[in-house]
Amino acid sequence: MTATAVAHPNIALVKYWGKADAELALPATGSVSMGLDVFPTTTSVTLLDSQEARDGFVLNGRAVEDGALTRVEQFLDLVRQLAGSDVRAHVDSTNTVPTGAGLASSASGFAALATAAAAAYGLDLSMRDLSRLARRGSGSATRSIPGGVAVWHAGDDQGSFAETVPAPPMAMVVVTIDDGPKAIGSREAMRRTIATSPFYPAWVTSTTETVGDMLTACAAGDFTRIGELTESNALRMHATIEGAFPPIRYLNARSVAVFDAVAALRAAGTEAYATADAGPNVVVLVQPQDRVVVAAALAHLGTVIESGTGPAARLVGSEGTGTHRPVQEESAE
C-alpha cells in the first residue's frame, strides 16, 4: 500500500511561540496563518513487509539516518497506534523549498506526512483530526492541513486543531536575505524563551488577544488591520525571544532593512506589512494587485519569491489494497 500527499508551507500572521504541553504539542496560544501556493512537499508512505524492523526515510533522494529519521519514526508510531498496526513504513519525501529560503519545511513536511501516512495505514480522518495528527509532528504543520487563512486553536488534545477562516484575498513576497544555517532551532529557542524571557507572560496575554482581533479583521476583510496586527505580532515575538537568556536574536541588519523598506513603501502609499519567523528572512504581506510591484521594490534587498494563498493538504495518489509491498519493488518502478 502506497499513499502520496502534497502539502504547502504556511506563514503565521499571528505567531505560535511556546508550548503548553510538549508531549501533546499543545500551543500556549492560538495562531493564525496564510498558506502559500509555492514550495509544495510531496510525500509517499509505503507500508513494508511485516518483518521489516525499522522505518525508512528518504528526503530529496537521500536516505536520512539521523535525528530527522527518529522524528519521522516517532510520528509514524502515533499513526500506528491510531491504526492498531505494527507494520513499518518507507517514507519518500520531496521538498521543493529552495535550500535556505527560510521557510520552515517542517510545516509542509509533517502535513504531507500526516496525510499520506493516515491514508497508507487505512485511517479515514476528518480534516480536523488530520490537523490534530500533523500537530504532533510539528506545531506549524497543524495549519498546513486546512490551507488558506487558518486559525490553530489552543486547547486540549481534542480542541487543538486548525481550520480555514474567511479572509480577503492576500499574497506574500518572501525576501530571502540569508541562506546560512539557523543559529538555534525554534524548538530549543521556544524552551529557552519560556524558561528565561521575562516578556513571555506578556507575549501569551497579548497574542491571545491578537488572535481574536485578527479573526475579526479577517472576517471584516480589513486588510489594513490584518497587516498592522501581523507586523506588530511578529515584532512582539522577536522582542520576547530577544529577552531570553542567553539572548537569541534571529533578525539581523539586513532583516531590519527589509522592515524599513516595507515601512517606506507604506509611507509612499503601497500597503505592505512585514513578518519574520525563527530566522533572518522576511515575508511581506500584500494585496494580490501589489505583489509584483512590491517584489520589484524589494529585489535589491534579497532573493524575492511571490506567493498567492495556498490550498489544503491533499492526497494525490493511493495504490495497493493493503498488501504490504516491499520497498525494493517501489523503488524499482
* Nearest approach, Cβ of residue 268 and ligand DP6 (Å): 29
Among 4, 95, 105, 186, binds ligand DP6 (CB under 6 A): 186
* Nearest approach, Cβ of residue 138 and ligand DP6 (Å): 3
Neighbours of 318 (CB within 10 A): 14
Residue 7 or 48 having the CB closest to ligand DP6: 7
Under the binding rule (CB under 6 A), the answer on residue 278 touching ligand DP6 is yes
Under the binding rule (CB under 6 A), the answer on residue 277 touching ligand DP6 is yes
Given a contact cutoff of 8 angstroms between Cβ atoms, the answer to whether 116 and 89 are in contact is no
Report how far residue 94's alpha carbon sits from residue 78's, in angstroms, rounded to the nearest whole number: 22
Among 4, 93, 138, 144, binds ligand DP6 (CB under 6 A): 138
Under the binding rule (CB under 6 A), the answer on residue 104 touching ligand DP6 is yes
Binding mask 52-81 for ligand DP6 (x = CB under 6 A): ------------------------------
Among 5, 12, 87, 283, binds ligand DP6 (CB under 6 A): 12
Q: Which long-range contacts (CB under 8 A, 24 or more apart) does 247-250 make?
A: 248/183, 248/184, 248/189, 248/192, 248/193, 249/183, 250/182, 250/183, 250/276, 250/277, 250/278, 250/279, 250/280
Among 29, 44, 106, 240, binds ligand DP6 (CB under 6 A): 106
Residue 138 or 197 having the CB closest to ligand DP6: 138
Among 187, 209, 221, 264, binds ligand DP6 (CB under 6 A): 187
Report how far residue 15's alpha carbon sits from residue 193's, in angstroms, rounded to the nearest whole number: 14
Phi and psi at residue 206, in whole multiples of 5°?
A: -70, -35
Among 139, 146, 147, 302, binds ligand DP6 (CB under 6 A): 139
Among 131, 140, 193, 230, binds ligand DP6 (CB under 6 A): 140
Q: Is 209 left (phi over 0), alpha (psi -120 to 50) or beta?
A: alpha
How far out from the chain centre does Cα 215 lie?
Answer: 19
Report how far residue 65's alpha carbon sits from residue 98's, in angstroms, rounded to the nearest whole number: 22
Residue 4 or 210 having the CB closest to ligand DP6: 210
Residue 191 or 324 having the CB closest to ligand DP6: 191
Q: How many CA atoms lie within 13 A of 81 on its CB side?
A: 7
For ligand DP6 (CB under 6 A), the number of binding residues is 15
**Helix 291-298 to helix 253-267 angle, to the nearest 10 degrees?**
130
By the criterion CB under 6 A, which residues form the site for ligand DP6? 12, 15-17, 25, 31, 104, 106, 138-140, 186-187, 277-278
